[in-house]
Structure 1
């Protein structure tokens, strides 16, 4: 698994002076074309823009936003501590009203639904309101569970598949992310996703849905960007910092987005800072000094490509026209997402622990089949088809595991599981009872690898069983596993090498063909039935469809054709290609959350396995099992997720 370097607070604060950042993040997220202090001061020497237009309302507002939704006769959305929530038309006439006492607000529109989130100050709880544009009616409000902290701000995040999330910014650096509504559903059903460590003195946030970024202010420090995707690591990037590390002169409060631009209000200096967003970089634009405003905290932007109208809130709602050219963003397409059907119990070890699954098929009673999953901090877990842990063998740091049936062990015939054990750079063997599924430790066999890593097994037409571990240096070794009177032994048959670090591999026994994943480059294949004819040929390379790292590989044996399933860890997805030349691409998908069963989405997958065996029930066409690198909803140790193959086949149009 590739772990991303996280900026420390000290490092981020000094980024402008020391360049203290990781090379990976420098390529992905940068502050480009910095505006030096002299340029900032020069821009502020220009005549200040007078704010003279006032959107006069008969109430005192806490927060206000432009609102532009087809079919809604409203222009401004406000919250008030005494007058509740209100929608106002262009003539400052109230067209909708919810009595109460509310703080800061955010909204999104989904289809014919307007969804507003705020905090009910009387109940001290975040609350969701939904307005039906067709009927002109409000649904019953939905409250989040009472929090243990005061909510300073909340902001919404809408993904391309129309899943809606909420961020709560609390006092003293407390933050949370919630799922409010899953894609394709019209039901508001809040579920806690994850805790977040945020800056300790923050009170304003906004989310860029297009670039999946959460922006947060930090008092007297600057502006930070976080990954908004709930499956992303908790990493922050400095957008701009206070002088002398950046161009901010005072205290940033309100934030607003329009097209490819971010605006930030400096309430203490009455200055509007502006930034152009290009991919994942922030380019500073000349700031604007404002007149006739009194410590404005909250702002909202709307407008055309070249003309913007700024709404700001001090003791009144004030409006300002700005000549500011931005670029409209194209609609973001939603990729295919398939929810998991089952998740396993959590692996016992904390941190990066779960790694690779294998599926054992009970030939006598398929419903009693098992899933074996490695815990690379401690051992091997055994689960039933409902995800319940039945056994845990604490035998060491097991990385990858595979299974082959009908191995002759002395006078018995057992199914054989083998895993790579990184404690001793060895092969760790286990027998599986063919009727009960009970897993038994058989001990270890040595290898000559220095840093054993990935693994797969192979059983040829003669019934011989082979273990094929690999080393981080790219070496693959095929060992023949033998059971003799003196015990189990290994005999090297062949070895080959790829140019950089591999891990996942799988063998198509029927065709004597191995597929190997070179993490940063490609999936390769070669035949194994002739050791003199090892010629690696490319199946698919890292690029548009597969994003590094390439991790787990598995083969689905279909009635019409076979499919190779690839873990594309770089974009948290799974790629399916034909398991035969010319290896036609059949599609890719992600595994999404299932709110009804409280199963979180999947990301950072290392190993995976698939079977086409009829295991009964929803598994009648087989199943896919994947490792989940981040456990959410609620947070916890890692685990494995199961997906019915029938859903995957239908979604991708597989035969």
Structure 2
């Protein structure tokens, strides 16, 4: 469909968080009211575009879309289009989107004045999911995605992915469905901070997060009188270069200028229009020109808005994006259910290996290497799980999985037989009052197996796992402490080191042997930029003699790779993004993760990174696990 072209990031100043609205926010006297001026053009929707120093006009009326320069028509497409919007591209082009109201079809065009045919249709599709009220583009510089929001008027919106990592998709892919107010009428996106604004008719304006993997929470920007300043139905929204917002009320026609704290700066009446429907903005220096149009294709009105001094805005640098190639079936329940994965390796056939995952409401789920659930063990509320190999149980050697059981603050044991079937092997009591994270350790010095388990107070206990041939027992051998709540941990069996994540503060290093000192060292601190609280899952990976520490940075939905030896240098910062070809969404709000550098069969010959996905989309379902081939991470590390 579209050729491969890089995108130009709009330069818009960051938007701050809106303050709570005061109970009775009165109109402010003495505001400068710029007077609308008539523009000599008739259009139901009007856009002014500057490309390569030249100015072009884009407009729709009852007969179609037209692009012109002055009085010269450069292109035309027949139809009854509404909600015309644009997204600048590089190399002198802009991407246009509009809806045909007769067929509820989405149209995308590329407008490139330098080409023989400046206006080219690149995509057209009937939208069956909802009647579309408005369209708005979002370009994420961090995640290298271009998407388009389709806002419906009956409580829903779709986010369509158009371009990823500078590659156009063959056709748009729906990557998120949003729940929005029933009478939603207009949308706009602040490209710099990833804020999606949605108007709820004449009642409110809301702010959401535009990133497809972000939290779906919202905040209130403005409400109707007497608690706010809205009076009529809001038909259009636009973001200005200083981070403020324009809202167009339909009848009587009025433009509201709202700052980034939700306060009304200006209210501009447009008496020349009986009803207003279209709003577009162009910027020059510190002045915004607002173009207000009407569905009856009357004369377009324009208003000049002086803005505060606008600082130069640098787009957020791109973060490495890795794609998942496999996902597990979703959890059987919705909500925050899954937490931590572990891997059991089949001794002979890697493709028969298994993935274990804790269910914080019910027990342990077991998946095969096709992502299918093959076993469920309903033992109670499990939090973290880990695996080690070759312990005697019932007169035979078994592998062992141990999980933290929150129902009774115990260690829940599972024996894994040679076929990969798990058996409930009983519990080991702990002294904890709020058990949480867990990891296992096999000492190269003594050959003993241990379990490290922590609780929310910062206490960490080390238990030795012994057997009498018929069962397993646990003996408390040591206690450690971090200042505040930990969870994720991993032990380096080869080097005798324990790493623990103190969620809000740091990653700690302790000696793992039972007779070692109990003092630890904070080796990697939360920096609020790359590593953002909470620190959650922690795993180790070995490759060519190097040891890496992989961490899930839950606060910014990303992952980091550090050297697992001093000075613990950061090697990679990445996100797990949408795989549109396989129909797998990205990963976010990750709790636990695991990594193996042993083969797991076809597609994972060098191992895999396995992460819990807190927001499972495409479609919206219960949480699950996403797998990224380890070789893809190695390519970034080289």
TM-score by length of 2: 0.90
Structure 1: how far apart are the matches of 2:191 and 2:152?
A: 21
Preserved CA contact (<8 Å) 1:52 1:292: no
Change (3 A) 1:210 1:376: same
Give deviations 1:560-597, integer Å, cap 9, x for gaps: 31000011000000011110111111121000011000
Q: Does 1:220 align with 2:202?
A: yes
Preserved CA contact (<8 Å) 1:252 1:266: yes
- The aligned runs of 1:45-124 (5 Å cut-off) are 48-57=33-42, 61-70=43-52, 75-80=56-61, 82-89=62-69, 91-112=70-91, 114-124=94-104
Change (3 A) 1:187 1:216: same
Q: Does 1:298 align with 2:286?
A: no
Change (3 A) 1:551 1:410: same
Task: Name the residue aligned to 1:42.
Answer: 29
Change (3 A) 1:556 1:282: farther
SS of the equivalent of 1:367 reads: helix
Structure 2: how far apart are the matches of 1:85 and 1:381?
A: 54
SS of the equivalent of 1:597 reads: coil
SS of the equivalent of 1:294 reads: coil
Preserved CA contact (<8 Å) 2:21 2:222: no
Q: Does 1:465 align with 2:465?
A: no
Preserved CA contact (<8 Å) 1:405 1:414: yes
Task: Name the residue aligned to 1:633.
Answer: 618
Preserved CA contact (<8 Å) 1:49 1:290: no
Match of 1:356 among 328, 340, 362: 340
Structure 1 portions without partners, runs of 5+ = 1-26
Match of 2:191 among 181, 202, 209: 209
**Which has the larger displacement, 627-636 or 129-138?**
129-138
SS of the equivalent of 2:555 reads: helix
SS of the equivalent of 1:650 reads: helix
Give deviations 1:298-331, integer Å, cap 9, x for gaps: 2111122322222111322222333333525322
Structure 2 portions without partners, runs of 5+ = 1-14
Preserved CA contact (<8 Å) 2:362 2:379: yes
Task: Name the residue aligned to 1:15.
Answer: none
Match of 1:418 among 383, 387, 402: 402
Give deviations 1:385-417, integer Å, cap 9, x for gaps: 232222222222211100011112242111111
SS of the equivalent of 1:606 reads: coil
- The aligned runs of 1:178-189 (5 Å cut-off) are 178-189=160-171
SS of the equivalent of 1:49 reads: coil
Which has a greater percent of helix?
Answer: 1
Change (3 A) 1:420 1:258: same
Structure 2: how far apart are the matches of 1:288 and 1:652?
A: 55
SS of the equivalent of 2:437 reads: strand
Preserved CA contact (<8 Å) 2:21 2:228: no
- The aligned runs of 1:608-623 (5 Å cut-off) are 608-623=593-608
Task: Name the residue aligned to 2:438.
Answer: 455
Structure 1: how far apart are the matches of 2:25 and 2:401?
A: 64
Give deviations 1:52-91, integer Å, cap 9, x for gaps: 331324xxx33222223348x66222233x32222122x1
Task: Name the residue aligned to 2:631.
Answer: 646
Change (3 A) 1:324 1:269: farther
SS of the equivalent of 2:494 reads: helix
Number of residue pairs aligned between Structure 1 and Structure 2: 614
- The aligned runs of 1:122-521 (5 Å cut-off) are 122-131=102-111, 135-137=115-117, 141-144=122-125, 146-160=127-141, 161-259=143-241, 260-277=243-260, 281-282=261-262, 284-290=264-270, 292-314=272-294, 315-327=298-310, 328-434=312-418, 436-461=419-444, 462-485=446-469, 487-521=471-505
Match of 2:547 among 557, 562, 566: 562
Task: Name the residue aligned to 1:5.
Answer: none
TM-superposed CA distance for 1:625, in Å, is: 0.4
Match of 2:569 among 563, 584, 595: 584
TM-superposed CA distance for 1:530, in Å, is: 5.1
Change (3 A) 1:245 1:316: same
Give deviations 1:496-530, integer Å, cap 9, x for gaps: 12222111000001111100011111110110225
Change (3 A) 1:215 1:582: same
Question: What CA RMSD, in Å, does the superposition of the two structures yield over aligned residues?
Answer: 2.5
Structure 2: how far apart are the matches of 1:74 and 1:598?
A: 40
Change (3 A) 1:459 1:158: same
Q: Does 1:31 align with 2:11?
A: no
SS of the equivalent of 2:167 reads: coil
Structure 2: how far apart are the matches of 1:144 and 1:431?
A: 54
Change (3 A) 1:42 1:455: same
Structure 2: how far apart are the matches of 1:383 and 1:134?
A: 55
Preserved CA contact (<8 Å) 2:34 2:304: no
Structure 2: how far apart are the matches of 1:533 and 1:37?
A: 62
TM-score by length of 1: 0.88
Preserved CA contact (<8 Å) 2:450 2:462: yes
TM-superposed CA distance for 1:419, in Å, is: 0.9
TM-superposed CA distance for 1:35, in Å, is: 12
Change (3 A) 1:56 1:486: closer
Change (3 A) 1:530 1:484: closer
Preserved CA contact (<8 Å) 2:23 2:227: no
Structure 2: how far apart are the matches of 1:295 and 1:480?
A: 76
**Which has the larger displacement, 184-193 or 591-600?**
184-193
Structure 2: how far apart are the matches of 1:95 and 1:56?
A: 16
Task: Name the residue aligned to 2:4.
Answer: none
TM-superposed CA distance for 1:251, in Å, is: 4.0
Task: Name the residue aligned to 1:22.
Answer: none
Give deviations 1:466-514, integer Å, cap 9, x for gaps: 1111111211111111111563211101111222211100000111110
Change (3 A) 1:28 1:530: farther
